[in-house]
């Protein structure tokens, strides 16, 4: 089969690799019809993770079931399915509690919890930027989609990661109707947090970034764009919240946060959130941070530490929640919002490409080139 392989920093290529296949009786085999490039792939693409060369990338996957193992009861050949980026067993203590991002079975490293397709440090599983994907514990990990999903793939594929992850950011921040929220990052995840905040009836949604094309997408759904290259984002938010700060905050950037000039500061969004969220407000962090980043320009962060403004955070009585999203905790309900037309997450999609053009998609999306807001790949060639 053809698949997008990580070759080393800033290099990916489409190669012929052995076909994915059923390996265990609980597996499902999916012919991938739609698979996205994610901001998480870019940390790997840029060589800022432990990703091994030769692995297939891709954790935002949907497609058609073409084979099921003998122990699969629920999922049938022909079903259109969308897979959470997390691989979960469904029966461990964490899965039992709905914490499928921290599954205790799927990651063979005893020091780690949680697994994912084509992801550094999250198990040996290949990704779905490929013609075929092996889905372990298929009954647990396949969300069966309604028939119309075939025609609306750019909406339904967002259930694999970024729509639930944006929702998770607002859950971690305890956002309630009528409250104000500030979201740092207008990438796909930040935009999905903004969409989630509109669905939760937030009264004001501020989205901070410096890319006009991304801020325009935030504005399209009624959020207030805050351009941090023009003026301090903290002052802009204070001005629009009677000097109090937003009720809630979401971090949707991660450890490669940088200033508008491009210099990385891994603590930048965290400290901006502490300053722009009100006393007793809460903050949800879904942007990725890693335990070690030897190539960080920040000496502290080489060992995963950030100079966090803990004094002010404590003084303001704020709280924080963070981590990978438990996609399965939300994907079914969010699917119903898509089905009934209440949510249309495809509004951020800028490019639909065949798999062969994935390397080009990586290059543009990595540079955050103007107009490259979300890249969707179709390994089956159909558009
Ligand atoms: N927790 C999870 O389960 C989960 C799931 C998916 C993605 N992620 C992570 O979410 C993060 C965002 O991913 P993405 O797909 O949206 O792509 P992305 O990386 O393109 O988006 C990040 C955006 O943040 C902006 N930005 C950078 N520094 C900033 C700053 N100081 N202030 C404000 N904005 C700033 C960039 O201009 C960019 O538009 C990544 O770290 C990704 O790994 C986490
Ligand atoms: Zn993703
Ligand atoms: Zn589990």
**pLDDT tens sequence across 280-293:** 999 999 999 999 99
213 and 76 within one domain:
no
190 and 307 within one domain:
yes
129 and 172 within one domain:
no
- pTM surpassing 0.85? yes
Q: Tell me how far the alpha carbon of residue 96 is from its chain's centroid.
A: 23
Averaged pLDDT of the chain: 97
Over range 148-165, report the average pLDDT. 98
Number of domains in the chain: 2
172 and 317 within one domain:
yes
Residue 108 exposed, middle or buried by CB count within 10 Å (0-12, 13-18, 19+): exposed
Domain membership flag for residue 176: yes
Over range 190-199, report the average pLDDT. 99
365 and 314 within one domain:
no
Closest CA to 157 of 380, 372, 334: 334
pLDDT above 70 as % of the chain: 99
Cα 90 to ligand 3 centroid, rounded to whole Å:
5
Domain membership flag for residue 341: no
312 and 358 within one domain:
no
pLDDT above 90 as % of the chain: 99
- Tell me if residue 280 falls in helix, strand or coil: strand
152 and 18 within one domain:
yes
170 and 134 within one domain:
no
Closest CA to 215 of 194, 200, 236, 232: 194
Q: Which atom of ligand 1 is nearest to the CA of 255?
A: 41
Number of separate helices (H) and strands (E) present in the chain: 12, 17
Residue whose Cα lies nearest atom 14 of ligand 1: it is: 39
157 and 171 within one domain:
no
289 and 166 within one domain:
yes
Domain membership flag for residue 266: yes
Measured from the CB, is residue 375 less than 6 Å from ligand 1? Answer: no
Q: Which atom of ligand 1 is nearest to the CA of 322?
A: 1
**245 vs 272: CA distance, rounded Å:** 11
Over range 314-330, report the average pLDDT. 98
pLDDT digits over 89-105, tens only? 999 999 999 999 999 99
The residue whose CB lies within 8 Å of the most ligand 1 atoms, and thus the one to mutate among 216, 252, 271, 375, is: 252
Cα 79 to ligand 1 centroid, rounded to whole Å:
32
The residue whose CB lies within 8 Å of the most ligand 1 atoms, and thus the one to mutate among 45, 159, 167, 253, is: 253
CATH number at residue 307: 3.40.50.720
The residue whose CB lies within 8 Å of the most ligand 1 atoms, and thus the one to mutate among 36, 37, 39, 209, is: 39
- Tell me if residue 192 falls in helix, strand or coil: helix
pLDDT digits over 68-93, tens only? 999 999 999 999 999 999 999 999 99
232 and 221 within one domain:
yes
**79 vs 228: CA distance, rounded Å:** 45
Q: Which atom of ligand 1 is nearest to the CA of 186?
A: 39
Cβ–Cβ under 8 Å, residues 167 and 190: no
251 and 182 within one domain:
yes
Q: Tell me how far the alpha carbon of residue 86 is from its chain's centroid.
A: 11
Provide the residue range defining the domain that includes 243. Answer: 162-322
């Amino acid at each position: 089969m053809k698949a997008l392989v990580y070759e080393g920093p800033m290099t990916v290529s489409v190669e012929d690799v052995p076909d994915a296949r059923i390996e265990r009786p609980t597996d499902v085999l999916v012919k991938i019809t739609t698979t996205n490039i994610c901001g998480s792939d870019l940390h790997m693409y840029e060589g800022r993770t432990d990703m091994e060369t030769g692995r297939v990338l891709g954790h935002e996957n949907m497609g058609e079931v073409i084979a099921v193992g003998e122990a699969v009861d629920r999922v049938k050949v022909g079903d259109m399915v969308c897979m959470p980026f997390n691989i979960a067993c469904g029966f461990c203590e964490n899965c039992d509690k709905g914490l499928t991002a921290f599954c205790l079975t799927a990651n063979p490293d005893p020091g780690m919890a949680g697994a994912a397709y084509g992801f550094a440090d999250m198990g040996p599983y290949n990704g779905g930027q490929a013609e075929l994907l092996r889905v372990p514990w298929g009954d647990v990990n396949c969300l069966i989609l309604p028939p119309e999903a075939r025609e609306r793939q750019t909406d339904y594929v967002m259930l694999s990661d970024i729509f639930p992850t944006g929702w998770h950011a607002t859950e971690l921040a305890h956002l309630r109707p009528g409250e104000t929220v500030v979201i740092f990052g207008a990438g796909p995840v930040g935009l999905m947090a903004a969409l989630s905040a509109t669905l939760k009836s937030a009264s004001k949604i501020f989205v901070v970034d410096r890319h006009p094309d991304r801020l325009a997408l935030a504005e399209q759904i009624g959020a207030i764009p805050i351009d941090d290259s023009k003026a301090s984002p903290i002052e802009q938010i204070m001005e629009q919240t009677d000097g109090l700060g937003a009720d809630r905050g979401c971090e949707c950037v991660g450890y490669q946060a940088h200033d508008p000039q491009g210099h990385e500061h891994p603590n930048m969004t965290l400290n901006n959130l502490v300053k722009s969220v009100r006393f007793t407000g809460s903050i949800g962090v879904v942007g990725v941070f890693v335990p070690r980043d030897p190539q960080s320009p920040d000496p502290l962060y080489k060992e995963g530490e950030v100079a966090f403004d803990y004094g002010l955070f404590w003084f303001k009585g704020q709280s924080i929640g963070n981590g990978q999203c438990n996609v399965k905790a939300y994907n079914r309900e969010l699917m119903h919002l898509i089905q009934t037309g209440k949510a249309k997450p495809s509004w951020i999609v800028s490019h639909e490409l065949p798999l062969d053009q994935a390397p080009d998609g990586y290059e543009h999306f990595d540079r955050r080139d103007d107009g490259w807001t979300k890249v969707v790949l179709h390994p089956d060639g159909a558009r």
